[in-house]
A and B are shown apart, each in its own frame.
Chain A
Amino acid sequence: MSFPSNRLRSPSTAAALGLAAAIMLVPANLLPVLTTEMPGNNRTDTIFSGVVELWREGLWAIALVVFVASILIPILKLVGLALLLLGARRGAGGDARRLTRLYAALDFIGRWSMLDVFLAAFLAGLVQFGEFSTVTPRGGIVAFAAAVVLTVLATEAFDPRLLWRETPVPSDSP
């Protein structure tokens, strides 16, 4: 519904965007996303090492939030999208309602993956104290942002009505 035009919505478009997102997730998770420079303590973190560092510092709740938003949700979205595409191709049949719920969930959670992008932008703007303390975003965050944008576009390119083509249409509601 939210894709600019229904003409652009097709399983092949969704699959292509999903595949591109999966490819972008590799550099997003391997390349550093942030460098923190402090006197005697310079750190360069990937997404995962940033989560581990938060956990070590005792910030478990924050570590969990970042882990879910930046690592778990992108993977869940791609796995979910693959299930939806398989359902649309083979015919969802009795699973149509369950797959529709999955689509609605993917549609809702996708936005939260942008957390790390906003976090990097905010830290880069605030922590600029020259030799005392500086935070600099690195290339991994660009790859991560691209992966997030592609996963959102992939979900929007999938038309959930395809799951219901083989299901009988009930009479109109009162």
Chain B
Amino acid sequence: MSVEPVLTCRFCGQAHRPVPLPAGQKARCVRCDSVLARGARLGREAPLVFSLTGLVLAAPAALLPFMSAGKFGAERTSRLFTGVDSLWSGGMPALGALVFLCGGLLPLFLLAALAILHARGRSARPGAVGRFLFRAAHVLEHWAIPEVQVLAVLVALMKLGSLVTVTIGPGFWFYAAMALSLLMAQHSFNLDLGAPQLEAGEEPADPT
């Protein structure tokens, strides 16, 4: 027996019947006008391509020099997790862990989850692994934020201009490209399309 797929708006709970979307078009909720899904502008395989690209870029981003700073002949080179190490050893392990998770580990998990979900395809019965990955991807969306770290590094560059001599290393460019790949993968994946089956029957809690 086949299961009729349902697309549920994550903002108002309105159910919709999914239809194929032309490239570049958006489907909006009939009730709250939120964007439900976007037509694949870059092709159906774009999420997989961007996810795998991000995963490949992550290795050089973590291993290559991120930034070098010089002052009176002394030079210091930092890598992606040098700041995490400084926080950890400087008595702020919770802060170090937060930076490590949001800027390093969780973006990798989200890229891997998106790649696996796309490779498995969208099935009306996603199975236990599919349900777990969808839930994980929804949670990780808010905590995997490498683009904020990229902006922070750019702010630091401007701020350090008068303090030390700064040189951008290749690790930063790989990291920025990884962050862009993650954004593109998220944008092209339409995570909500897979969620309806997971949320079927769940009602919002009463305000108390």
Contacts and interface: CB of A to CB of B under 8 A. Distances in A.
Contact of B163 (A36, A103, A117): A36
- Where chain B touches its partner, the secondary structure class is mixed
B94 A142 contact: yes
A163 B32 CA distance: 10
B94 A119 contact: no
Interface residues of B, number: 68
Contacts of A36: 163
Given A62-B155, A65-B155, A161-B204, A129 B99 contact: no
Contacts of B71: 129, 132-133
A161 B19 CA distance: 23
A36 B164 CA distance: 12
Contacts of A174: 17, 19
Given A129-B74, A136-B90, A162-B204, A112 B148 contact: yes
B32 A129 contact: no
Interface of B: 10-17, 19, 27, 29-34, 67, 69, 71-72, 74, 76, 78, 82-87, 90, 92, 94-96, 98-99, 102-103, 135, 138-139, 141-143, 145, 148-149, 151-153, 155-156, 158-160, 162-164, 166, 192, 195, 199, 202, 204-208
A8 to B, nearest CB: 9
Given A104-B34, A170-B30, A114 B82 contact: no
A122 B152 contact: yes
Contacts, number: 199
Interface residues of A, number: 71
Nearest to A144: B95
B207 A115 contact: no
Contact of B14 (A4, A62, A107, A170): A170
10 contacts: A2-B138, A2-B139, A4-B135, A121-B96, A123-B159, A129-B72, A137-B90, A152-B143, A162-B205, A174-B17
B159 A59 contact: yes
The interface centre, meaning the residue of A9, A127, A169 with most chain B CB atoms within 10 A of its CB, is A127
A88 interface: yes
A100 B92 contact: no
A18 interface: no
A120 B16 CA distance: 45
A62 B157 CA distance: 10
A114 B158 CA distance: 18
A170 B31 contact: yes
Nearest to A11: B207
A55 interface: no
A54 B158 CA distance: 10
A167 to B, nearest CB: 7
Contacts of A11: 205, 207-208
Contact of B92 (A6, A137, A159): A137
Given A125-B82, A125-B85, A172-B16, A103 B95 contact: no
Contact of A65 (B85, B98, B151): B151
Nearest to B69: A126
Given A137-B92, A161-B204, A111 B145 contact: yes
A6 B205 contact: yes
A166 B189 CA distance: 32
Contacts of A110: 142
Contacts of A121: 83-84, 86-87, 95-96, 99
Contact of A117 (B32, B90, B98): B98
A122 B96 CA distance: 11
A31 interface: no
B98 A164 contact: no
